[in-house]
Amino acid sequence: MSASNERDRTHAGVALARDYRTPDGQPDPLSALDQPRIGAPLSRVDGLQKVTGGARFAAEFALEGMVHAALAYSTIARGRITTLDTAAAEAAPGVVLVMTHDNAPTLQSPPVFLTTAQGAAGDDHPVLQNDQVHWNGQPIAVVLAETPEQAEHAASLIRAEYAPEPAVTDFRTAATREPDNVLGGPPSVSVGDAEQAFGTAPRRVDAIYRTPRHNHNAIEPHAVTLAWHDDELMLHDASQCVDHVAYSLAQVFGIAESQVHVSSPFVGGGFGSKTLWQHQILAAAAARVADRPVRLALSREGVHRVVGGRACTEQRVAIGADEQGHFRALIHTGKAAMTAHNNLPEPFTQATRCLYGADHVQLAIRVADLDMLANTFMRAPGESVGTFALESAIDELAEQLDLDPLELRRRNEPERDPTSGLPFSSRHLLEASRAGAERFGWDQRSARPGERYEGEWQIGLGCATATYPYMRMPGAAARITLSRSGAARVDVAAHEMGMGTATVQTQVAAARLGLPVEQVRFNYGDSSLAGVVLAGGSQQTAAIGGAVIAAHRALVEALLELVDGDSPLAGLTIDEIECRDGGLGAVADSARFETYDRILARAGRDELAIEADAAESEELSHFSMHSFGMIFCEAAVSAVTGEVRIRRLLGSFDCGRVLNAKTAASQFRGGMIMGLGLALMEETQFDTRSGRIMNPSLAEYHVPVQMDVPEIEVMWTDIPDPHTPMGARGIGELGITGVGAAVANAVYNACGRRVRELPITLDKLL
């Protein structure tokens, strides 16, 4: 086990054996992943552009004749617009257009995420097509003006009157229903008779845990700069799914997908929110009406009004165990808020499906349809809030049994997936837990809460398991272009939202091609490039990796076809070839080698370009595949004020092979910091009387800042998963999972106050 901090990078650059296997179990002779560049802490290839201002984000493109857009928002949760007075706005300085439902072009309803293969919309509401209002904050008008200030001023002059209709806005009293599906699967899962087994178990915990709404607050607010060229639409968007947005906008405007071009070279944070919302549709519609390029950059308030976030949940976790702590019954049920116009029940039981080996299991999610802005993905949807409930309940049971919380978890470690019955592709959670506990000093934890003091501060330690599933979505493809100069370019319609995609994929491609990283360029962020890739579900790295593997193999086959009888490679098959030192060589004979330059020169070619689709991801049908980890937290609680200060966090992870030590550490720390926000401060204040978000700004919606963040140490097993491309599993969403419970458990160990409703604020500790 190696830490990834500056003091200890012993894993970085270590040569590892060729252990990648294809989904059918065959070795991949072209993997070349034993080269030192895999795992090395390579600095971000786009870092210089970003720190020097050379990277242009969606709201930084300037188009000739461009105007600026601003939105006006509804102030009721449900009803009709009876009067919309735009006269003052139209007469304001610089105004080019005021567009409402009275003069908007005909638009089709956008395809919702998870309802079609490439749907990207947050909801299926008609956009500015009638006088209906569906949530408090819905856009009711668009203003175009020569400057942003003129557009915002004019939008403030619009006056609306409404005929309100009864709205459902109170989650506590709303009726619930069983959703059609949860992430495409069943909303409930049962193994045996959990309620009966729970009722007869000698040791039991049965508690309700609640989590609030959360809103997205990426450093880069949502923005788009776009223009129509005849019937073709060009967008510079802040997007984590360029192909999905292109497809969805084509459906809205009734044009071919090939007529929509989405460019998104840099994204200042996405976390699940940078998909398709009404602002892109409205900007494109207004640009068409005005026949001018348009830039629309949402304000912080605008993001809260138009872009969905995480839904609130109420969860019951009931665990029945024998006297030794073995789980006889594990029940995790509850409800989440949703709307009838989207397709994302917050999947809070996902982690419970795979973590513990209970004899009987019952999992179920119900939803309450509210008249609100549609909820959406937010970093580790389901797992981040579900692990708060599950891991808090396990801590409560451990205390009842007088067991160390780590020991209770160890006693319920499953041999196979407890709900699917599949074998785990790779699971080294116990190793990660042991190493993390040793590094953190877990043996210093007091078994009795409230025993350790430092002045007015009560000190406690807590832990919680982290997990997030491995996924590899279909549709990925890659194009590799190899030139006689020895340089290579890899084109994939992928995304860089700050997680290091471009850097890691440059390393992977360089390793496969046997080239220095300086001679490889990874080209991404454009819907015109190869494949359909989504930066979500922590699956983009695996999806791209599968595509690059396929394209690389096809490239080597094409190079061998160019080989003539005078080549030292003549007669060799692809299974006898490896890529090294800027060329192809025989695996069994180091003397049989030829550079790419020489192969192309012999064939009279300046370059060779090959595109290939990723092989279908069959691994998930054979194995239960997840990343795991253990989060350790040290909390201090003031006995005088109830203030909570987190003094240390450590995450010890089992996530397969780590492809870049530096970007992985950054991803883990970022997720854990977001977990601190979830635990201690993040909460969307929602007025149940009006359905309005009351704190739509960073002044009132609190996220962790520098002074809130303690020392964070991360470490990992670095044991490759033999059933994934490159041996790696996703890490982007793993870091946030478990943090909420680890903090809550540490707070309890410090002061003896059990908090079952996030965030952990002063009023819950006094």
Q: What is the pLDDT of residues 32-44, one digit of tens each?
A: 444 457 889 999 9
Q: Distance between CA atoms of 657 and 121, rounded to whole angstroms?
A: 34
Confidence bin at 80 (pLDDT 50/70/90):
very high
Contact, 574 vs 553, CB < 8 A?
yes
Q: Are 310 and 83 in contact (CB under 8 A)?
A: no
pLDDT cut 70: percent of the chain above it: 95
- Helices H, strands E: what count in the chain? 16, 30
Domains in the chain with CATH codes: 31-52+473-616 (3.30.365.10), 61-166+222-269+274-306 (3.90.1170.50), 313-471+621-764 (3.30.365.10)
**Which residues have CB under 8 Å from 60's CB, separation 6+?**
none
* Residue 706 φ/ψ region, left for φ over 0, alpha for ψ in the -120 to 50 degree band, beta for the rest: alpha
Q: Given the structure tokens 């699971």, which residue do they identify?
A: 427
pLDDT at 738: 98
| DSSP one-letter code for 446 | -
What mean pLDDT value characterizes the chain? 94
Which of these is catalytic: 611, 682, 733, 757?
Answer: 733
Per DSSP, helices labelled H in 376-461 are 383-401, 405-411, 429-440
Task: Encode pLDDT of 94-117 as tens digits.
Answer: 999 999 999 999 999 999 998 899
Average pLDDT over residues 430-456: 97
Q: What is the pLDDT of residue 4?
A: 38
Intra-chain end-to-end CA distance of the chain, in Å: 40
Poorest-pLDDT segment among 9-18, 79-88, 607-616, 690-699: 9-18
CB atoms within 10 A of CB 17: 8
The predicted structure's pLDDT at residue 19? 34
Is there a catalytic annotation at residue 578?
A: no
Q: Which two tokens stand for residue 484?
A: 């006689």
Question: Which amino acid belongs to residue 331?
Answer: I
Tell me which residue of 382, 370, 301, 319 sits closest to 123, measured CA to CA.
Answer: 370
Q: Which residues of 397-421 are buried (b: 16+ CB within 10 A; e: fewer)?
A: bbbebebbbbebbebbebeebbbee
Sign of CA dihedral 58, 60, 61, 66: positive
Peptide bond into 759 cis (omega under 30): yes
CA angle 394, 396, 398 (to 5 degrees): 70
Predicted structure pTM score: 0.94
- CA distances in angstroms from 426 to 11, 79, 720, listed in the order given: 19, 53, 8
